[in-house]
Amino acid sequence: MRIGMIIQIRQGWEEKTVVVTGLSAKRGSATIAATLYQETRESLEARERQANERKLSGISRIISENRPDKKSRRQIHRFLRQHDQEQ
């Protein structure tokens, strides 16, 4: 890794594109690590746009009265596997 490199980082639903602005000789805290990179403007705008789309579509919240039973869990896992294979 070098200063100036552009890296894509995936965190949950979101994917960030960052530019490395500094390096550390040893492992440190997340607060220190956050000072060693800067997210690109395009990446920030894209993440905000995607967050708004998720909020409007209701994907980020699943409304359920109770936990899924075994059959429902299997259906959920099957759906997610099929969705992952399509991408």
Q: Where are the domains of the chain?
A: 1-61
Which among 35, 42, 34 is positioned nearest to 16, based on CA atoms?
A: 42
pLDDT tens digits for 21-52? 999 999 989 999 999 999 999 999 999 998 88
At the fourth CATH level, the homologous superfamily of domain 1-61 is RNA-binding S4 domain (3.10.290.10)
Task: Tell me, yes or no, if the pTM score tops 0.85.
Answer: no
Name the phi and psi angles at 62, rounded to 5.
-110, 120
Average pLDDT, the chain: 87
Reduce the DSSP state of residue 86 to 3 states and report it. helix
Q: Where are the alpha helices (DSSP H) in the chain?
A: 30-34, 41-57, 70-86
Residues 6+ apart with CB under 8 A from 17: 6, 7, 8, 9, 39, 40, 42, 43
